[in-house]
Amino acid sequence: MAGAFWTRWVLTLALAVLGVQAIDIDLSSESSIKNAASIAAYGMMKHYKGNESGEIPGKLPNTWWEGGAMFMALIQYYHYTGDSTYNSEVIQGMQWQSGDCDYMPKNYSSYIGNDDQMFWGLAAMTAAELDFPDSSDGYSWLALAQGVFNTQVARWDNSTCNGGMRWQIWTYESGYTMKNSISNGGLFQLSARLARYTSNSTYAEWAERIFDWAVSSPLVSNSTWNVADSTSITNDCTTQGDDQWTYNYGAFLGGAAYMYNYTNGTVTKWYDAVTGLLNVTLDEFFPSEYGGEIMSEILCEPLEVCNDNEIIFKGLLSSWLAFTAYLVPSTYSEILPKLQGSAKGAATTCTGYGNNTCGVRWYNSTWDGWSGLEEEMAVLNLFAANMLPFTNSSSAPLTSSTGGNSTSDPSAGTGDSNNDQKTLSKITTGDRAGAGVVTVVFATGWLGMMAWLFMG
């Protein structure tokens, strides 16, 4: 670990001495933000092999859920910039992994978790709301989101802790006894978005049920608006794993914003949730020591131990903050400076390898030596979210009555036999999205990278 740290430090210093340029972004210029987003999108897609011969569309090495997050980023990129360069990859990958219209594909359904499946559902929901081009011969985006909803609510667990979603689907998975914030917050947000898009009260009722359970559990406090990471059925969900992650707050904040908008701002409960969660999010994840305007994953960045999952979380929060600003206009003036400050900071750190490679910590003013698809994805989400001032309320996520035309299938996913419980061999944690309560220590072959850089 120490060796990797010093290797990154030496590499960073060497590139700084060489005067490597950062991404040039002018936050007052629409074209500049689009160009910055284009650089980040290209940097991300250099790591994607699913469109190559012999590879699996939508599948990233050692992970399944990240494909959904990646496509969600590209859908938003297309929406904000109009650049359709990667649309065919998005359509191909999202249809390839769709399973029986529910994102439970046979090759991976035996080890994915509720949160993994949910991210693909949120990607499909984003495609429906942002009028992303349909597949010519596949499922509609709305039907895919409905399929994920249908298969997930069927797993709602009243047998323990008076309700809630477990982290994992299968009994043999590590984490099956946990109920965590991202699984519940993600399904809450998906339900709220389906309610708003379709005007179907069943989805709204589920959003209420999930949120009410979460605030009755240790996961979410509706007095302090603390969002814990997890709780366990082993002690009837009486204690919490209180790790603080950006995407947990963002999942519940986004869901509350959709419910606020769905109810036309008439329900105090949702206004209180939006303002409470937003205030804590901005206080917690924009540390004063970095000026208070730059987002940080505070649990892992200071010690440089963020794993690939955790590197993505800030990008997800960036997207959901932008949606919140659209859906709850009173939050716009609070959210925009944080997105802009983060984008300005992130752009200055994208100096890696002399080709605008971005790192993890956006407050460094220089590249920190980290690189990968996840780093580029987070920055792409952030830059796209900074298109906020160049759009208006009509750019808010669509509904079926405001221009959304994705075909509905309320029974999607209900005939999929892959949801049957079964016993298989124990699997590893590599393909799971949830951070859980343990921060995985980062370790990788930096010496090999150095050899490649200086000898290649």
Please report the pLDDT score of residue 415 as a whole number: 85
- Domain holding 440, by residue range, is 2-455
At 304-340, the pLDDT tens digits run 999 999 999 999 999 999 999 999 999 999 999 999 9
Instruction: Report d(CA 94, CA 136) in Å as an integer.
Output: 13
DSSP-assigned letters across all residues of 236-289:
TT-S-B----HHHHHHHHHHHHHHHHHTTT--HHHHHHHHHHHHHHHHHSS-GG
Please report the pLDDT score of residue 435 as a whole number: 54
Token pair 């790790």: residue: 243
Check: pTM over 0.75? Answer yes or no. yes
Please report the pLDDT score of residue 392 as a whole number: 78
Would you give the end-to-end CA distance of the chain in angstroms?
Answer: 25
Please report the pLDDT score of residue 432 as a whole number: 54
What is the mean predicted confidence (pLDDT) over 34-53?
97
Please report the pLDDT score of residue 396 as a whole number: 85
Range in 18-27, 63-72, 154-163, 376-385 with the lowest mean pLDDT = 18-27
Between residues 430 and 302, which one has the greater pLDDT? 302
What is the mean predicted confidence (pLDDT) over 269-289?
98
Q: What is the CATH number of the domain that holds 412?
A: 1.50.10.20
Between residues 440 and 164, which one has the greater pLDDT? 164
The answer to whether the CB of 128 falls within 8 A of the CB of 141 is: yes
At 189-210, the pLDDT tens digits run 999 999 999 999 999 999 999 9
Please tell me the total count of domains within the chain: 1
Please report the pLDDT score of residue 399 as a whole number: 97
Please report the pLDDT score of residue 225 as a whole number: 98
Please report the pLDDT score of residue 395 as a whole number: 73
pLDDT classification of 437: cutoffs 50, 70, 90: very low
Q: Is a pLDDT exceeding 50 seen at residue 445?
A: no
Q: Is a pLDDT exceeding 60 seen at residue 18?
A: no
Between residues 243 and 1, which one has the greater pLDDT? 243
Q: Is 452 helix (H, G, I), strand (E, B) or coil?
A: helix
Across the chain, mean pLDDT equals 90
Between residues 423 and 314, which one has the greater pLDDT? 314
What is the mean predicted confidence (pLDDT) over 297-308?
97
Please report the pLDDT score of residue 21 as a whole number: 73
Token pair 């985006």: residue: 141
Token pair 């969900």: residue: 237
Please report the pLDDT score of residue 417 as a whole number: 60
pLDDT classification of 179: cutoffs 50, 70, 90: very high
| CA-wise closest residue to 73 among 116, 30, 126 | 126
